[in-house]
Amino acid sequence: MSSRWQGQRIAMAHGAGGRAMHELIREVIAPAFDNEWLAPLEDQARLPYGLIPPGAQLAFTTDSYVVSPLVFAGGDIGTLAVCGTVNDLAVGGATPRWLSCGLILEEGLAIETLLQVLASMARCAREAGVAIVTGDTKVVERGAADGLFINTAGIGTIPAGRCTGPQAVRAGDRLLINGCLGEHGIAVLAARNDLALQIPVRSDCAPLGGLVDAMFAAVPGDARLRWLRDCTRGGLATVVNEFAREGRLQIRLEEAALPHSDAVRGACEILGLDMLYLANEGKLAAIVAPEHCDAVLAAMRAHPLGRAAAVVGEVLADGQPGLVTLRSAFGGERVVDLLQGDQLPRIC
């Protein structure tokens, strides 16, 4: 960081369109994401259409991030902004390629904090193989934005033949997840200033594109993965309910199969939280045909982001459409519904 920015904070002038705003963009923001598409600093990025292979489809997504606090164990709002958007593309079968970055800066935000967030975004973008090619910056009055909000939009390409969704799901299909639940939710909760919690949990925030590619590669020939979603707000329970309701299926989860850390389970017991509903930022759920389940599971476990992957449920034959149940370790069964309200707001 240039010494001229040390100790400085965001002022309203940084969003006014004049010299201060131009200096912030050219000296602080743009250098973090330097690439050939961003370099002209025009109002749009000109992307090469030739990079889209014949027969591929475009995937397009957008999301906004308002996490509190901005920095937590294992990541920050910048890590979330890139990983969240990349993962939304990846679970649709897309190869993420380009992102935008919209910044809402609150008057008084430390420039050092902004630089830390931008560095996280740049690092995650490199890891995910994407370029941040365009953006926008606005400044709002003190107290209006809780420091920093970020919007990211993403474009990816879906290779020919990759088509997932409810139409492919069949009775007997298995439900897989790639690792321990609830780490992001507990990490953010532990970082909040009003809770004096000493919990050794780091957010699982990570780009999942490489893992998804490995899963697709494990399915032979014309076969394909049935359906994928990333388990963010609302956790695994919400995603499985989306599967069940949109696909008109009944899915049964197996409590004994759910991977978790002792720290997350302990925090849930102390605070009265349900691990199934806690947010994740590096976890996905996949519905897979039973004949391909072992191969996909092995591919997941061979990847760094899937070492604790597990089969955690099944699509039932002749079940009640839209119903999700959980079979406990003691053999009882209960309904897992959509959450009423929010266990933990401002999580991403």
Q: CATH number of the domain that 76 lies in?
A: 3.30.1330.10
Residue 301 exposed, middle or buried by CB count within 10 Å (0-12, 13-18, 19+): middle
Terminal Cα-to-Cα distance of the chain (whole angstroms): 27
- Mean pLDDT of the region 120-129: 97
Note down the domain range covering 24.
Answer: 3-158
- Asked if the structure places residue 345 within a domain, the reply is no
- Asked if the structure places residue 347 within a domain, the reply is no
Rounded distance, CA 45 to CA 235, Å?
A: 34
**What would the pLDDT profile of 20-79 be if each residue is shown by its tens digit?**
988 899 889 999 998 888 888 888 888 877 767 777 889 999 999 999 999 999 999 999
| Same domain? 128 vs 248 | no
**What are the E-state strand segments in 7-130?**
57-65, 71-72, 75-76, 95-106
| Same domain? 9 vs 151 | yes
**What would the pLDDT profile of 154-195 be if each residue is shown by its tens digit?**
999 998 878 888 888 899 999 999 999 999 999 998 888 656
Number of domains in the chain: 2
| Same domain? 72 vs 199 | no
| Same domain? 255 vs 327 | yes
Tell me which residue has tokens 């390409």.
Answer: 157
Q: Which is it for strands 131-140 and 95-106: parallel, antiparallel or unpaired?
A: parallel
**What would the pLDDT profile of 186-230 be if each residue is shown by its tens digit?**
999 888 865 656 778 999 999 999 999 999 999 877 667 899 999
| Same domain? 275 vs 129 | no
Residue 46 exposed, middle or buried by CB count within 10 Å (0-12, 13-18, 19+): exposed
**What would the pLDDT profile of 254-309 be if each residue is shown by its tens digit?**
999 999 999 999 989 988 899 999 999 999 999 999 999 999 999 999 999 999 99
CATH code (residue 194): 3.90.650.10
Q: 148: left (phi > 0), else alpha (psi -120 to 50), else beta? A: beta
- Asked if the structure places residue 343 within a domain, the reply is no
| Same domain? 73 vs 98 | yes
Question: Do 31 and 141 touch, CB atoms closer than 8 A?
Answer: no
Rounded distance, CA 157 to CA 341, Å?
A: 35
Among 158, 188, 212, which residue terminates a domain? 158
